[in-house]
Chains A and B, each alone.
Chain A
Amino acid sequence: MKNIKENLILIIGLVVVLGTHLVSCERIPPPPVVEPELMPSVELSVTPQGVIPYGDGLDIRWTADNNTNKVVLKVNGKIKETRYGSNSRNGAFYIDRLFKDALVTIVATNVNLSVEEEKEVHVGDWTSSTFGLVSYFPWKYKSQTLSSLDGKLLATIGLTEKEKSWVFYYHKDGRLTFSPNLSNNTEPWYLQNDTTMIRNGVARRLQVNQEEMTISYQTTWNSQQVWFNMVFEHASDVPTDPD
């Protein structure tokens, strides 16, 4: 029994000695290898390309790679908040209306490394779109006429001095306002297409060029169906809205 006790003490002593040796022989792990930061990349596209008509919209889309942790969109140097947030590698942004040239920049960042992609967007002048022709300058009555449905002039309706003095302002933001001698009201307007204007919720035929705008609706006159045409000319060479 005594021998067993002595052997047990010997064994425990050996284990302690060997354990101490084992610990002291354990290799110190090498420091982790720091991999170099990878350059992110991003693709930027804008639609439509080329010169876009005055007041048209712009679709901006981007796709960044897996080395990207943050994406920031800038238009003319100003950061645009997108609904995807800056952590999303893919995103899109839509600008409703552009009235002048724009520089679209997308910045993709990994940690410290960043890459920028830029696209220049060129916008045509006010004559490049129906929207521009309608909204750039204010209008006043030039004449009122009646024409047949096939376009033949039937009659000219007299315009009084008061009617000629009214001024109509088609603002770029979709408001239609008037000179105070006509009304203080504000009405909504927009173009359904190049030949139809929705004014105050009602559709009217539209014909417009750089000098004249004609807004028409059908009515009964002299027992026949005719176009009643309200013809406008520019009331001023001062733009309705500042650039």
Chain B
Amino acid sequence: MKLIINKKYLAPFLLIVFSVLLFGLANNAFAQTEIETVRYMLELTVVDDGTTTTPGTGGGTSVDDGTTTTPGTGGGTSGGDISYTDGSATFYFTYNGPENLHPGYRPIDCYSVDPSGLRCDIDLGFESNITPMSCDNVWDNKRTDVVVNPDEDGNVYINWGADLCDYNMPYEITGSGSVAIVGGSSTITSSSDLYCKGGMPSETNCSPSTGWETSSCPASYFCPGYGQGVSGDSNYDEGATQAVTFSRAVIKDPKVDVVGVDIKDNNKEYGKDKEGGEMTVQSAQNGKDTNVQIKWYTTDISSPTVCTCNDGSADCGSGISTSEGEAVLASGDGGNGNYALTGNTTFTVTCE
């Protein structure tokens, strides 16, 4: 396919290309949301019961205070996070736009997609009596956008320029849910050998505004005016409906809960959530008899985030809970699997 550009259009063409590149870079930067580091520590105080003389690993001071156990308050921090995945928000969409020339017909129909998405089915080449906001009738390879533009009050505005004119088609969102703000964009690959019965084909560009991301955007084209089907690709003929799906981002609260299990004390638990960050156990007999099991549970943390465990001197495993309530077990010490602690040890699980 030959691309012929008139000299007088060269400067504006280059300006548009440069602007599109800048726009794409900016949106990519938005899309790569960094996950805040989450860290939780479990401090283990080992109590010498009088029979052990082996110094413990991991540093700290052995305290000979009998059988006292002292659950403490949790240490570490949990940070806010933004995820693109599922959530519990529920939304309903109502078309509030003006009537089309064909009563009851909606050129764009939007409805909710579980769990918190918006899907818009767009009829290519619709005929509208809606007063355009603006109209640019320059025959050019103008990129026309389908812009889902929800505002903070939950109204969705869709600008659609099937005839190179921009229209407002408001959709009202009602419902509730926990949503957060992310950015994102989608770029449609170009297609060759497409031509219109009249005019030049325009390319749809699914551009979610702040708070939404594009789940799917068809590489679709349309021709200016009603009844101007696109030849060369039956997918985009007149009357074809293309779906654009947007998803709302959901606020997640990533955290990691380190659990220490006192094997000799009826599996007492410390460190879970905010209830305890410290626990005291009896010292391991001869430094070999295991006295502690360490595991952790992560919430709202997904790959590629990695959670690694460190006991102050060495790594003690890594992993995330791929489902709620799925434990990740520390790798244990070299000889016994569980831990035979004879000295104070702090287990720290860091997710980043």
**Which residues of chain A come closer than 8 Å to B262, judged between CB atoms?**
158
Task: Mark contacts of B131-160 with chain A using CB atoms, 8 A cut-off: 1 yes-contact digit, 0 otherwise.
Answer: 000000000000000000000000000000
CB of A95 to closest CB in B, whole Å: 21
In the complex where A157-B261, A159-B267 touch, is A222 in contact with B323 (Cβ < 8 A)? Answer: no
Contact in complex: B323, A157 (CB < 8 Å): no
Say yes or no for B337: interface residue by CB 8 A criterion.
yes
Task: Mark contacts of B311-352 with chain A using CB atoms, 8 A cut-off: 1 yes-contact digit, 0 otherwise.
Answer: 000000101001111111101101111100000000000000
Contact in complex: A168, B325 (CB < 8 Å): yes
In the complex where A157-B261, A158-B263 touch, is A222 in contact with B327 (Cβ < 8 A)? Answer: no
**Which residues of chain B come closer than 8 Å to A176, judged between CB atoms?**
323-324
Within 8 A of A (CB), among B278-303: 293, 295, 299-300
CB of A230 to closest CB in B, whole Å: 7
Smallest Cβ-Cβ distance to A179: which chain B residue: B325
**Which residues of chain A come closer than 8 Å to B328, judged between CB atoms?**
219
In the complex where A158-B293, A221-B331 touch, is A202 in contact with B324 (Cβ < 8 A)? Answer: no
Contact in complex: A182, B325 (CB < 8 Å): yes
Say yes or no for B97: interface residue by CB 8 A criterion.
no
Contact in complex: B269, A160 (CB < 8 Å): yes
Contact in complex: B329, A219 (CB < 8 Å): yes
**Which residues of chain A come closer than 8 Å to B118, judged between CB atoms?**
none
CB of B100 to closest CB in A, whole Å: 26
Say yes or no for A241: interface residue by CB 8 A criterion.
no
Bound-state Cα–Cα, A159 to B259, Å = 10
**Which residues of chain A come closer than 8 Å to B268, judged between CB atoms?**
160
Within 8 A of B (CB), among A16-74: none
**Which residues of chain A come closer than 8 Å to B115, judged between CB atoms?**
186
Bound-state Cα–Cα, A162 to B325, Å = 11
Contact in complex: B337, A222 (CB < 8 Å): yes
**Which residues of chain B come closer than 8 Å to A200, judged between CB atoms?**
322-323
Say yes or no for B109: interface residue by CB 8 A criterion.
no
Say yes or no for A184: interface residue by CB 8 A criterion.
yes
In the complex where A157-B295, A162-B272, A221-B337 touch, is A144 in contact with B327 (Cβ < 8 A)? Answer: yes
In the complex where A155-B338, A222-B332, A222-B336 touch, is A182 in contact with B317 (Cβ < 8 A)? Answer: no
Contact in complex: B88, A146 (CB < 8 Å): no
In the complex where A157-B261, A157-B293, A186-B88 touch, is A228 in contact with B329 (Cβ < 8 A)? Answer: yes
Within 8 A of B (CB), among A100-148: 141, 144, 146
Contact in complex: A162, B331 (CB < 8 Å): no
Contact in complex: B88, A166 (CB < 8 Å): no
Smallest Cβ-Cβ distance to A139: which chain B residue: B325
**Which residues of chain A come closer than 8 Å to B334, judged between CB atoms?**
222-223
Bound-state Cα–Cα, A45 to B268, Å = 60
CB of A147 to closest CB in B, whole Å: 12
In the complex where A160-B269, A186-B88 touch, is A178 in contact with B261 (Cβ < 8 A)? Answer: no
- Interface of B, secondary structure class, is loop
Contact in complex: A182, B324 (CB < 8 Å): yes
Contact in complex: B329, A158 (CB < 8 Å): no
Say yes or no for B86: interface residue by CB 8 A criterion.
yes
Contact in complex: A160, B325 (CB < 8 Å): no
**Which residues of chain B come closer than 8 Å to A186, judged between CB atoms?**
86, 88, 115
Bound-state Cα–Cα, A220 to B329, Å = 9
Bound-state Cα–Cα, A162 to B273, Å = 11
CB of B274 to closest CB in A, whole Å: 13
CB of A197 to closest CB in B, whole Å: 10
Contact in complex: A221, B329 (CB < 8 Å): yes
Smallest Cβ-Cβ distance to B257: which chain A residue: A162
Residue of B261, B272, B329, B335 ringed by the most chain A CB atoms within 10 A: B329
Say yes or no for A154: interface residue by CB 8 A criterion.
yes
Bound-state Cα–Cα, A130 to B331, Å = 32
Contact in complex: A187, B323 (CB < 8 Å): yes
Within 8 A of B (CB), among A196-242: 199-202, 204, 215, 219-223, 228, 230
In the complex where A157-B293, A162-B269, A186-B86 touch, is A219 in contact with B319 (Cβ < 8 A)? Answer: yes
Say yes or no for A7: interface residue by CB 8 A criterion.
no
Bound-state Cα–Cα, A144 to B326, Å = 10
CB of B16 to closest CB in A, whole Å: 39
Say yes or no for A192: interface residue by CB 8 A criterion.
no
Say yes or no for A3: interface residue by CB 8 A criterion.
no
**Which residues of chain A come closer than 8 Å to B329, judged between CB atoms?**
144, 146, 157, 219, 221, 228
Contact in complex: B322, A178 (CB < 8 Å): no
Smallest Cβ-Cβ distance to A232: which chain B residue: B325
In the complex where A178-B325, A183-B325, A185-B88 touch, is A160 in contact with B331 (Cβ < 8 A)? Answer: no
Say yes or no for A161: interface residue by CB 8 A criterion.
yes
CB of A131 to closest CB in B, whole Å: 18
Within 8 A of A (CB), among B216-247: none
**Which residues of chain A come closer than 8 Å to B325, judged between CB atoms?**
141, 163, 166, 168, 178, 182-183
Smallest Cβ-Cβ distance to A199: which chain B residue: B323
Contact in complex: B261, A158 (CB < 8 Å): yes
- 3 closest cross-chain pairs (CB), A and B: A160-B269, A158-B267, A222-B337
Residue pairs across A and B with Cβ atoms less than 8 A apart, 30 shown, are A155-B338, A157-B329, A158-B262, A158-B293, A159-B267, A160-B259, A160-B268, A160-B269, A163-B325, A166-B325, A168-B325, A176-B324, A185-B86, A185-B299, A186-B88, A186-B115, A187-B323, A199-B322, A200-B322, A202-B323, A204-B322, A219-B317, A219-B319, A219-B331, A220-B317, A221-B329, A221-B331, A222-B334, A223-B334, A230-B326
